[in-house]
């Protein structure tokens, strides 16, 4: 792993097709998407290559933050690739990264590998590590 790359791996105790659905079916995405303590007051998911997605999160303190991207690759139930960029207070998109989700069937369920890159700073990478770690904990609970 480099300073510009985040890589996380998890064993999810569910079949790959169910884990893939948790990433691609909007009603299921909303059950786990985002770190603990965040709500989603608004979201759109056009899950197809070239389709746009957008999510607004509300923190415990009530702050709204928006992130959006485009789906680049959808290969059920093995791989999903999409872009990711936070919006600034004026609504413009900041630095864009690409997120690749790979799912492999293994004993005990599905091995999920998340790679996000390239980050502009180590601090940004590390903040995303914290957010994704919490989100993947929620995904594992939703898959159970």
Tell me, yes or no, whether 115 lies in a domain. Answer: yes
The per-residue pLDDT for 2 is: 85
Structure tokens at 116: 């996000």
For residue 116, give the nearest of 106, 137, 102, 105 by alpha carbon. 102
Instruction: Tally the domains of the chain.
Output: 1
The half-sphere exposure of 36 on its side-chain side, counting CA atoms within 13 A, is 8
Tell me, yes or no, whether 128 lies in a domain. Answer: yes
Mean per-residue pLDDT over the chain, rounded: 96
- Does 1 have pLDDT greater than 90? no
Structure tokens at 131: 């957010």
Tell me, yes or no, whether 57 lies in a domain. Answer: yes
The model's pTM is 0.95
Tell me, yes or no, whether 15 lies in a domain. Answer: yes
Tell me, yes or no, whether 132 lies in a domain. Answer: yes
Segment 20-45, tens digit of pLDDT = 999 999 999 999 999 999 999 999 99
Tally of helices (H runs) and strands (E runs) in the chain: 3, 7
Segment 134-144, tens digit of pLDDT = 999 999 999 99
Tell me, yes or no, whether 1 lies in a domain. Answer: no
Q: What percent of the chain has pLDDT over 70?
A: 99
**Containing structural domain, residue 13:** 6-143
- Does 95 have pLDDT greater than 90? yes
Check which CATH number belongs to the domain holding 75 and give it: 3.30.530.20
């Amino acid at each position: 792993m480099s300073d510009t790359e985040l890589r996380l791996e998890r064993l999810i105790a569910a079949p790959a097709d169910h884990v893939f659905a948790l990433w691609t079916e909007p009603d299921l995405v909303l059950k786990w998407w985002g770190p603990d303590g965040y709500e989603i007051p608004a979201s759109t998911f056009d899950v197809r290559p070239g389709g746009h997605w957008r999510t607004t999160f509300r923190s415990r303190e009530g702050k709204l933050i928006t992130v959006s991207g485009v789906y680049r690759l959808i290969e059920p139930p093995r791989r999903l690739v999409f872009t990711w960029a936070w919006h600034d207070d004026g609504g413009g998109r900041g630095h864009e990264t690409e997120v690749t989700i790979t799912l492999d069937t293994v004993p005990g369920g599905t091995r999920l590998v998340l790679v996000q890159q390239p980050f502009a700073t180590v601090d940004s990478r590390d903040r995303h590590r914290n957010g994704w770690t919490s989100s993947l904990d929620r995904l594992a609970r939703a898959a159970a």
